[in-house]
Structure 1
Amino acid sequence: MSEHIEPMYSKVIATLYPVMQRITVREWTGMENIPATGGFVVASNHTSNMDHFPLAHFLVDAGRAPHYLAKSSLFKPPGVKQIMWGTGQIPVYRGTTKATSALSAAEEALERGACVCVYPEGTITREPDFWPMVGKSGAARLALETGVPLIPMAMWGTRDIMWPYKDKLPRIWPPKKVSVSAGPAVDLDDLRGGPVDGKSLRVATDRLMEDITGLLEGIRGAKAPDHRFDPRTEKAARGHGEGRAR
């Protein structure tokens, strides 16, 4: 590892790493795009509650320890609470006056040289065929306000371990193929140094989602829809667990 790892984090890695080695068949690509040192933001698509583990596995294999922006409810259960705080994860207090504190905490982590992970869709995709939805601006804001690289990533295969909105427990046998790909940093050079406003955030977020979608197209060997699904204006997919999309 090229950064300081909290003692609790080292214990979690030592426990979960061999488990992930056993329950997944891994296809890792683009690991050379993960910065060896310094702070950076990782932004990935989100198709399953299982996503956190292969994403962390990939980053640990690349020599970096991920710090997630996670919903505050995960910081409350006994045992889980100690792990979340002890590994330096970052609580997000949705719909409260504390909501902006997550970005401040994430900025501080980036300034310390940490890898901060964000799911820019804000939730598991509701797009009918599991393509990335319209992104939120948090990842772009962090990258523009701190000047760190914004690394797009895509995952596929985690739904076979835990199907979204239906499965409560993972299906760990037989081992499932999980593909994770990291791309080059999103090109934000023309936006850096200027105002971080609605316009620049929209441009940066659109570029990010295009890069994530392109990576996922490569993994799936399929073309994403030309229109990006927006859950704010379109009906969310129902029966999300009825079929297995390619």
Structure 2
Amino acid sequence: MAPPDNDVLRALSLRCSLGGHEGATDVLTGISVGVREGELLAVTGPRGSGKTTLLRCLSGQLVAQEGEVWFDGVPVHTLPRARRERLRRDRFGWIDPEPGLVPELTAWENAALPLLLRGISHRAARATATEWLERLDVGAAARKRPAALPHAQRQRVAIARALVTTPSVLFADEPTATLHRADGAQVLRTLTAAARSHGITVLLATHDPDVAALADRALALIDGRHAGPVPPATGAEGVSACSLSV
């Protein structure tokens, strides 16, 4: 049965380990968390605290060895791999620390790729991708390929790609960790404003308290355990034994 509340995304008692059966290391130890629709939740903690693993479990990329993950009343933890992949494609967006763009495609083609893969018309996909690139102040680079763009602009294109489908939930794993502070701050302001204007729920993993300050609230992790809720203004991973679906 679904959890008896109206969280759009909820994890119950997640436990996940890295490594083999011998000498396995717990990465998540009984983590539970609920996220409301349209909420921006920062997942904070030092590197290696389990932030990325938690986001991967919540997004269906990993199936924890113990515990449950529910999205909009659907038990993600029991879905077969194909259903989890469809859920990630249709309802979730993901941003990595590195852009991961397709080098042969232009900026707008990279941003439009999720729409094109859905069968959206070339014209409609281009128009939507271009709109998001302009929102992220990289519209002038729409016809350039990644190699011709500085790193900060490539990351903006990657963020546009994650937002172009207007996902229900956006998972942002240290999205500005490789950017200079000024570039990162501007990108995050744009990202959070866009998410709020479209009612997108955001889970933002960060070790930076200034980034966490943009969130509605924060969940702090230390060694895969709850370190207690942290007010955003002050807040502030190996081969996995979990089932991996990419």
- Report if TM-score (shorter chain) is over 0.5: no
Classify the TM-score, shorter chain: 0.3 to 0.5
TM-score by length of 1: 0.36
TM-score by length of 2: 0.36
Between 1 and 2, higher relative CO (CA 8 Å, sep ≥ 6) is seen in 2
